[in-house]
Amino acid sequence: MSKFEFKELPYAYDALEPYIDAQTMEVHYDKHHRAYHSKFVAAIEDTEFENMESMHAVFTNINKGNAAVRNNGGGYFNHELFWSCMSAKGGGKPTDKLAKAIDQAFSSFKIFKEIFSNAAATRFGSGWAWLLVNPQGKLEVCSTANQNNPLMKDAEVKGEPILALDVWEHAYYLKYQNRRPEYIDAFWHVVDWEAIAKNYSEVLQKL
Ligand code: MN
């Protein structure tokens, strides 16, 4: 089962303070994320999913009948990407190729941030906001419900996500209570644009 391993958080629980508080990080990573992972591993046992090469293959083959695999596999994958999109040295803005692609797709970094923030703020209930590379190689923003993501076979907007923001209440309620927009504003201070640029160039190489 090593290909679906539970990875260590790439920083300390308090590394993203004051934007994301240590208590939220600990509960989110060690309770929520761990539960998605262990339930995913249990759900794929003795199924066709167990020997698949990657989460991409799992999401490509998922359908409505695989609720436990979808919800927990989505939770596992989405959170892994989310942790990797942030770091203590985050904030600022993208550079080089990614900056250019954002300008091309959204006309400016400022407008991109508004579109992404709006997608995150208006996602009703629990879900995620995404920056993704669509099959034509263009950047797009979307949001998804629950633990769905743009890699799933039945996604409305399909593509390879390179930036993820968790807008489930468990991601922000301890510090921000009902103030989701404040949490979204804080997120921009910890986005690791070097990591997102690396995701972007890796996706382009695969297209
Ligand atoms: Mn979460």
List, edge to edge, every strand of the sheet that includes 160-166. 139-145, 127-133, 160-166
Instruction: Determine the Cα–Cα distance for residues 192 and 10; give it in Å rounded to an integer.
Output: 12
Residue 65: predicted pLDDT: 82
Please report the DSSP string for 133-168 in residue order.
E-TTS-EEEEEEETT--TTSTT-SS-SEEEEEEE-S
Task: Specify the amino acid at residue 85.
Answer: C
What is the CA(139)–ligand 1 centre distance, in A? Answer: 24
pLDDT digits (tens, 9 = 90+) for 129-180: 999 999 999 999 999 999 999 999 999 999 999 999 999 999 999 999 999 9
Query: Which of 40, 78, 66 has its CA nearest to residue 154?
Result: 66
Calculate mean pLDDT across residues 63-88. 95
**pLDDT higher than threshold 60 for residue 1:** no
pLDDT digits (tens, 9 = 90+) for 8-53: 999 999 999 999 999 999 999 999 999 999 999 999 999 999 999 9
What is the CA(93)–ligand 1 centre distance, in A? Answer: 24
Residue 164: predicted pLDDT: 98
What is the CA(57)–ligand 1 centre distance, in A? Answer: 22
Residue 3: predicted pLDDT: 81
What is the CA(129)–ligand 1 centre distance, in A? Answer: 12
What is the CA(182)–ligand 1 centre distance, in A? Answer: 17
In our burial notation (b when 16+ CB lie closer than 10 A, e otherwise), range 165-188 reads bbbbeebbeebbeeebeebbebbb
Looking up tokens 């309770």 gives 31
Calculate mean pLDDT across residues 63-67. 86
90 close to 191: Cβ distance less than 8 angstroms: yes
The answer for residues whose C-beta is within 8 angstroms of residue 87's C-beta and 6 or more apart is 10, 11, 15, 16, 190, 192, 195
In our burial notation (b when 16+ CB lie closer than 10 A, e otherwise), range 84-102 reads bbbbeebeeebeeebeebb
Residue 91: predicted pLDDT: 96
Calculate mean pLDDT across residues 77-97. 97
What is the CA(130)–ligand 1 centre distance, in A? Answer: 14
pLDDT band (50, 70, 90) for residue 64 = confident
What is the CA(24)–ligand 1 centre distance, in A? Answer: 10
Q: Partners of 166 in the beta sheet?
A: 128
The phi and psi torsions of 104 (rounded to 5 degrees) equal -65, -45
What is the CA(107)–ligand 1 centre distance, in A? Answer: 30
Residue 2: predicted pLDDT: 58
Residue 114: predicted pLDDT: 98
Instruction: Determine the Cα–Cα distance for residues 97 and 200; give it in Å rounded to an integer.
Output: 9
**pLDDT higher than threshold 70 for residue 115:** yes
**pLDDT higher than threshold 50 for residue 59:** yes
143 close to 130: Cβ distance less than 8 angstroms: yes
Give ion ligand 1 contacts, CB < 5 A. Answer: 166, 168, 171
Average pLDDT, the chain: 96
